[in-house]
């Protein structure tokens, strides 16, 4: 296929050449790399056409209704004109890279919480069962050439990156790829051009209403992943809609696809069931009932909720023909995920964990997991991101007020908002949750906040650093300032 014909309604002005890559970032366009001008909330890619033409971009994809901005470049560079560049970019990127997902087994994982762990667990189990798998998640990318940190602050990265990584996975001989699929990424068509064979749903709780507006639209966006299962595919891989039977939203999602439904949970009657879930040290032991048999499972992750994530991975692997016993055995060798309940141990007398938990439900899960493993006090250092659903702030405060003993409130990507105002909203939630003022403090500087928690934590205490995990920047007033939570924690602990 000629790459520019992949977008419905595309027309050309000039003859675009074949290109090696496609980007939406004007700084990356140049010889061999075409540019897609995508309108955004604060910036319009059409304003950068002159820059990419000067840089040597061989072709530019523009939007019909932005003619006033692109018409001056007619004759200077070949143009591909489409009705909507946001919807077209994934299809075009897939065509440029030879439509790699048409030959890969592609699994999408969506939900409010648990997406990343489920995606990594699924890739691990598939690989252990001989279906060599990589992943694209909010933590990082594995496409056959080794782990690469995701520094984008995006759960689901842009289409151009997705298709490039899928092509890389195919070149390195991977058979499967697991893609963490956020509602925002689905709504913004970043996954267009992907041929999904399996869709997984973890859960639905209040979040991202700053983007979607209502819970109904939030859920509808997640449903798009399941709709994509019904796209025609010639790869021959089995289709499956893997659903958490314990979440009411699963009933709706089951109607969005014709793919066979596979359920998981802790109740009777599900296809993959966890029973007798027990915390043992920093891991879990439980029984898995599926396909008429019961097998013992061991998972080196803390937190009861991870048993459900493991079930989802089991369901995916078995839907693709793997043996249940082999899939269950693979759980015990899982190495964990950077920034997901990651322990930082520098010989200090208290335990420190780093986790991405940035929603009330996620924070509740993590604190509940740490409570039974904590003999002393349970501390949490956290904030709430600016430019996101304001209700998240009081909700997270309420959770911490109910489940933690001590808290230090601090910054977490305030963006263009006042960090102190965000912290004040969290503090009100803390009080409503039952934590009194003497038991928490506010320190805007995140490094100082962590240092304060470490200075006051006693033997047998646990300190949770929540919200940043593996992110590499702190976004303040439009600036992406360098930040490495794990490195800061190690430096402070080493200097004790």
**Cβ atoms of residues 219 and 204 within 8 Å:** yes
Per-residue pLDDT, averaged over 448-476, amounts to: 95
Q: Are residues 128 and 77 in the same domain?
A: no
Residue 403 lies in a domain: yes
247 secondary structure, DSSP code: S
Q: Which of 43, 60, 84 is the last residue of a domain?
A: 84
Looking up tokens 């939406």 gives: 24
Average pLDDT over all residues of the chain:
94
CA pair distance 133, 127, nearest whole angstrom: 5
**DSSP element (H, E) containing 80:** strand 79-82
Report whether pLDDT(281) > 80. no
Q: Are residues 243 and 307 in the same domain?
A: yes
Q: Which of 53, 84, 115 is the last residue of a domain?
A: 84
Q: Are residues 216 and 346 in the same domain?
A: no
Q: Which two tokens stand for residue 116?
A: 């990343």
Residue 386 lies in a domain: yes
Residue 336 lies in a domain: no
Counting residues of the chain whose pLDDT is more than 70, the rounded percentage is 98
Which of 483, 449, 470, 467 lies closest to 366, judged by CA?
467
Q: In degrees, to the nearest 5, what angle opens at C-alpha 355 toward C-alphas 349 and 361?
A: 120
Q: Are residues 28 and 107 in the same domain?
A: no
208 falls in which pLDDT band (50, 70, 90)? low
Q: Are residues 60 and 111 in the same domain?
A: no
**Cβ atoms of residues 265 and 244 within 8 Å:** yes
HSE-CB at 37 with a 13 A cutoff on CA atoms is 28
Sheet holding 240-244, edge to edge: 147-149, 140-142, 133-136, 176-180, 105-110, 198-201, 240-244, 261-265, 272-280, 283-290, 293-299
pLDDT digits (tens, 9 = 90+) for 413-434: 999 999 999 999 999 999 999 9
**Cβ atoms of residues 454 and 343 within 8 Å:** no
Residue 414 lies in a domain: yes
Strands (E), 347-437: 351-355, 378-382, 406-409
Q: Are residues 351 and 434 in the same domain?
A: yes
Per-residue pLDDT, averaged over 382-407, amounts to: 95
CA pair distance 455, 449, nearest whole angstrom: 10
Per-residue pLDDT, averaged over 369-398, amounts to: 93
Q: Are residues 76 and 173 in the same domain?
A: no
- Measuring CA to CA, how many Å separate 121 from each of 259, 308, 361, 371? 22, 11, 20, 24
Largest CA distance in the chain: 72
Stretch among 116-120, 144-148, 232-236, 464-468 having the lowest mean pLDDT: 232-236
Q: Are residues 390 and 351 in the same domain?
A: yes
Q: Are residues 432 and 460 in the same domain?
A: yes
Residue 211 lies in a domain: yes
Please tell me which residue, 156 or 383, carries the higher pLDDT value. Answer: 383
| pLDDT at residue 210, rounded to an integer | 60
In three-state secondary structure terms, 440 is strand
Q: Which two tokens stand for residue 103?
A: 């030959």
Q: Which domain holds residue 19?
A: 3-84
Per-residue pLDDT, averaged over 117-125, amounts to: 97
Q: Are residues 436 and 475 in the same domain?
A: yes
207 falls in which pLDDT band (50, 70, 90)? low
361 falls in which pLDDT band (50, 70, 90)? confident
| pLDDT at residue 212, rounded to an integer | 56
Q: What is the CATH number of the domain that holds 419?
A: 3.90.190.20
Q: Which of 31, 59, 84 is the last residue of a domain?
A: 84
Q: Are residues 130 and 50 in the same domain?
A: no
Per-residue pLDDT, averaged over 376-395, amounts to: 94
CA pair distance 228, 443, nearest whole angstrom: 45
Sheet holding 462-466, edge to edge: 342-344, 351-355, 462-466, 378-382, 406-409, 440-442
Q: What is the CATH number of the domain that holds 232?
A: 3.40.1190.10
CA pair distance 477, 457, nearest whole angstrom: 32
Please tell me which residue, 456 or 361, carries the higher pLDDT value. Answer: 456
Q: How many domains does the chain have?
A: 3
Q: Are residues 317 and 211 in the same domain?
A: yes
pTM of this structure: 0.84
């Amino acid at each position: 296929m000629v790459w520019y014909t992949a977008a419905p309604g595309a027309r050309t002005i000039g003859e675009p050449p074949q290109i090696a890559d496609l980007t939406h970032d004007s700084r990356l366009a140049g010889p061999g790399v075409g540019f897609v001008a995508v309108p955004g909330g604060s910036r319009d890619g059409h304003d950068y056409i002159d820059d990419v033409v000067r840089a040597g971009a061989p072709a530019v994809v523009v939007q019909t209704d932005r003619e006033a901005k692109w018409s001056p470049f007619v004759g200077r560079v070949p143009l591909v004109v489409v009705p909507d560049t946001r919807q077209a970019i994934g299809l075009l990127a897939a065509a440029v890279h030879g439509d790699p997902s048409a030959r890969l087994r592609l699994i999408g994982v969506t939900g409010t919480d648990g997406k990343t762990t489920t995606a990594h667990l699924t890739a691990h189990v598939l690989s252990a069962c001989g279906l060599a798998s990589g992943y694209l998640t909010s933590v990082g990318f594995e496409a056959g050439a080794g782990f690469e940190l995701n520094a984008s602050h995006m759960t689901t990265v842009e289409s151009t990156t997705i298709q490039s990584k899928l092509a890389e996975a195919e070149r390195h001989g991977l058979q499967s790829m697991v893609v963490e699929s956020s509602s925002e990424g689905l709504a913004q068509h970043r996954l267009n051009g992907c041929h999904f064979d399996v869709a997984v749903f973890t859960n639905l709780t209040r979040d991202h209403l700053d983007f979607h507006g209502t819970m109904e639209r939030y859920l509808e966006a997640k449903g798009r992943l399941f709709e994509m299962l019904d796209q025609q595919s010639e790869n021959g891989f089995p289709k499956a809609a893997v659903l958490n039977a314990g979440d009411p939203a699963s009933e709706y999602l089951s109607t969005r696809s014709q793919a066979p439904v596979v359920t998981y949970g802790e109740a009777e009657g599900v296809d993959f069931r966890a029973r007798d879930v027990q915390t043992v040290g920093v891991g879990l032991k439980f029984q898995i009932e599926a396909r008429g048999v019961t097998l013992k499972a061991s998972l080196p992750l803390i937190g009861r909720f991870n048993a459900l994530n493991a079930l989802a991975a089991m369901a995916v692997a078995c839907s693709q023909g793997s043996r249940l016993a082999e899939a269950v055995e693979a759980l015990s060798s899982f190495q964990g995920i950077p920034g997901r309940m990651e322990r930082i141990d520098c010989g200090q007398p208290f335990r420190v964990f780093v986790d991405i938990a940035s929603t009330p439900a996620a924070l509740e899960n993590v604190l509940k997991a740490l409570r039974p493993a904590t003999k002393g006090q349970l501390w949490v250092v956290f904030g709430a991101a600016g430019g996101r659903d304001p209700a998240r702030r009081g909700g997270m405060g309420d959770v911490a007020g109910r489940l933690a003993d001590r808290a230090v409130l601090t910054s977490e990507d305030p963006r263009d908002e006042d960090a102190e105002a965000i912290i004040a909203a969290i503090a009100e939630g803390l009080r409503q949750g039952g934590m009194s003022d003497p038991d928490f403090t506010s320190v805007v500087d995140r490094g100082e906040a962590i240092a304060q928690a470490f200075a006051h934590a006693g033997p047998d205490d646990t300190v949770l650093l929540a919200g940043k995990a593996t992110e590499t920047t702190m976004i303040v007033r439009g600036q992406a300032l360098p930040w490495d939570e794990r490195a800061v924690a190690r430096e402070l602990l080493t200097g004790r």
